[in-house]
Amino acid sequence: MEMSKRFQGKQAVVTGAASGMGFDIAKRLGMEGATLAILDINQDALAEAAQVLRSDGLIVNAYQLDVSDTTAVSNCFNHLIDNFNGTLDILINNAGIADFGMVETTESDVWNKVMAVNVNGTYLCAKAALPAMKQHGGTIVNFGSIAGMVGIPNMAAYCTSKAAVIGLTKQMAVDYSKLGIRVNCICPGMVADTDMGRQILGTDESEALMQKRLSKYPIGRFGKSEEIVAAVLFLASDEASFVCGSAFTVDGAMTAF
């Protein structure tokens, strides 16, 4: 199947892009014409990802980055935007982490780390991208989760962080849509074939618990990475030109019931 070129001439940044869904998003953006900046905290994995993408003929620069580091984010975006000749069209805030625990059992350092990456990282990267986007418009897709919309047992910090990302998305859409900048949030359900999905599902693989989890999904199965990637690219594209401030669920009707 011939790939469309709906991102031809666009400059795109993807955080958490060294592996998993972030890598898949970056690859699809590049295959559809975007020039890429991929960001990740893991230097070795990032270098390998960049090499693979370049071997596919994609135009990509790689930047090691801890998205929770204020100074590092500012410096990184200044550098990558200079390399993009002052423009930036697409930001995918994919970087995120999960941890487990109820409020009573979640240590403060764990809570703070989840907030620093998932909430502060989203805020810092968006803040750094906005000055360039304000010149010609752009689009930001933040990664929320259904965990930001419903309670998930034993995931106090993660649920709170993703609820904050949803709130930030809506607020940014109100402030920046008038400037031609669309901000949306993708809210996936359980995706089994990702590192985070395996991390969550791997906590207990008993048949009874798996059936209980699946029973929450009217569609009868968990999601697939490529289904989330397709939704992210839709939100980033001009096809979603009237979609702004959305918490876009891709969850097999889990939050509908």
Alpha-carbon span 23 to 28, nearest angstrom: 9
Catalogue the active-site residues: 158
Per-residue buried b or exposed e for 81-91, using 16+ beta carbons within 10 Å of the residue's own CB: beebeeebbbb
What is the per-residue pLDDT for 4? 84
Distances (CA, A) of 203 to 101, 106, 136, 183: 12, 16, 46, 33
Residues of the chain below pLDDT 70: 1-2, 197, 200-205
Domains along the sequence of the chain with CATH:
11-247 (3.40.50.720)
What is the per-residue pLDDT for 2? 64
Long-range residue pairs from 194-199, CB within 8 A, at least 24 positions apart, any chain: 194/20, 194/21, 194/225, 195/19, 195/20, 196/20, 196/96, 196/98, 197/222, 199/98
Please provide the distance, in angstroms rounded to a whole number, between the alpha carbons at the two ends of the chain. Answer: 36
What is the per-residue pLDDT for 74? 98
What is the per-residue pLDDT for 186? 98
Distances (CA, A) of 226 to 17, 159, 191, 192, 213: 15, 23, 10, 11, 21
Tokens of 194: 């990702």
Beta strands in the chain (DSSP E): 11-15, 35-40, 60-64, 90-93, 138-143, 181-188, 247-250
Token look-up 């469309």 returns: 4
Q: Give the residue from 95, 77, 94 showing the smallest Cα distance to 86.
A: 77
Contact (CB, 8 A) for 141 and 185:
yes
What is the per-residue pLDDT for 205? 63
Contact (CB, 8 A) for 94 and 21:
yes
What is the per-residue pLDDT for 193? 76
pLDDT tens per residue, range 59-95:
999 999 999 999 999 999 999 999 999 999 999 999 9
What is the per-residue pLDDT for 202? 67
